[in-house]
Amino acid sequence: MEQIIKAKKILIRAPNWVGDVVMATPAFRCIRENFADSHITLLIKKNLRSIIDGSPWFDDVIELETKAGKSRNGFFLPQKIFSGNTKEYLGLIQKLRQERFDLGFLFPNSFSSALTVWLSGAKRRIGYRRDARSFLLTDGIERLSENGKFRPNYMGDYYLRLCTQLGCKIVSKQLELFISRECEDNADELLKKYHIDEKPFFLINPGASYGSSKLWTAEGFARTADLLREVADCNIVLTSGPGETKLADEIEGLSKKGLINLSREPITLDVLKVLVKKCMLLITLDSGPRHFAVALNRPVVVLIGPNDPRYTESAYEIGRVIREDIECSPCQLKTCPTDRRCMTRISPEKVVQACIEVLNSEETCYQTSIKSLH
């Protein structure tokens, strides 16, 4: 392993997914701790910017307007990285080149991200050797493997290897998010508007942008909400991401005891951080909000099916992961070729029982009048 190097200016290309950005926070922090005097710039998709707002690790943040497109050979076209045209992309490159970066960290595995950092002129570029991009890196890292195949490992550790490869010392692997006073005030207004703050509340996040194979059923979420109302004097709050309003409305329509549907409210990711922080417990799929809960030290019950749990398992998570033992799982497929049995076989009763066990555990010590599920 190399000794830590000197770098006056550092460029970090952030991951492209909500959960991955959160799981990358220990690596962001590690870079700042080991390069305390460096000027660090983060390059991140515009829609993910609010996740890292308030963090003390970056001196500058550049937002990416992304609208991905692929060429016939499967690689991302540089001109499609921006929703505009090639002129905008070249403007970004010019802006990056003016900074004269000494070091660039590549968190995404894509060819396009490596091309962008290569074009930025960063003298050293560290990332994983994937997607035929090794020639764009000065410090390429091989993925861990077993039996001739890539070995799934926790993404937080995956990103930290970019740091340790250069000799950085890791102080902590804990995920970390920050919440501003303005953001908390905005969330409090929303809680008051729907009278959510009058009782403890469960937060349900039923969507997942990964693909349909990851989804549970609207009936399952509705039944879960009804059972929770039976065992606890609480509010049930439903939140969703872009394009998931229809799913949230369906769940609301199927619920017999009622819930609070926030799917039509403009809930940004920074407001979602506050909702997760203030909820009694989060019920979610293996998606971004799960990692908000880990970072904010909130209990969470996760429903997982097609995805390999080793990518997202964290020692810091307070909660339960519900996963059925199905012969074809994990498959990592975005669309199930059969009947999604790895998800549909999860029962609402099992989900609610997991919630009760988590809230009554020594880990949470949550003082509530939650009953047993009969």
Q: Give the CATH number, domain containing residue 145.
A: 3.40.50.2000
Q: Look at the alpha carbons of 356, 361, 367, 372 in this order and tell me if their dihedral is positive or negative.
A: positive
Give the helix/strand (H/E) hosting 187: helix 181-193
d(CA 166, CA 335): 38
pLDDT digits (tens, 9 = 90+) for 192-250: 999 999 999 999 999 877 778 888 999 999 999 999 999 999 999 999 988 899 999 99
**CA dihedral angle for residue 243, residue 246, residue 249, residue 255, rounded to 10 degrees:** -110
* Sequence-distant contacts of 196-200: CB under 8 A, at least 24 apart: 196/235, 196/237, 196/260, 198/235, 199/233, 199/234, 199/235, 200/232, 200/233, 200/234, 200/235, 200/280, 200/368
For residues 92 and 125, membership in a common domain is answered with: yes
Q: Which two three-digit tokens encode residue 327?
A: 């012969």
Last residue of a domain, one of 97, 129, 164: 164
Q: Does any domain span residue 320?
A: yes
For residues 107 and 187, membership in a common domain is answered with: no
For residues 225 and 142, membership in a common domain is answered with: no
For residues 153 and 201, membership in a common domain is answered with: no
Last residue of a domain, one of 137, 164, 191: 164
If you average pLDDT over every residue of the chain, what do you get?
90
pLDDT digits (tens, 9 = 90+) for 115-162: 999 999 999 999 999 889 999 999 999 998 878 788 899 999 999 999
Q: Quote the number of domains for the chain.
A: 2
**CA dihedral angle for residue 307, residue 19, residue 146, residue 308, rounded to 10 degrees:** -10
| Predicted local distance difference test score (pLDDT) of residue 59 | 98
For residues 212 and 300, membership in a common domain is answered with: yes
Decide if 229 contacts 253 (C-beta within 8 A).
no
CB atoms within 10 A of CB 78: 18
For residues 151 and 213, membership in a common domain is answered with: no
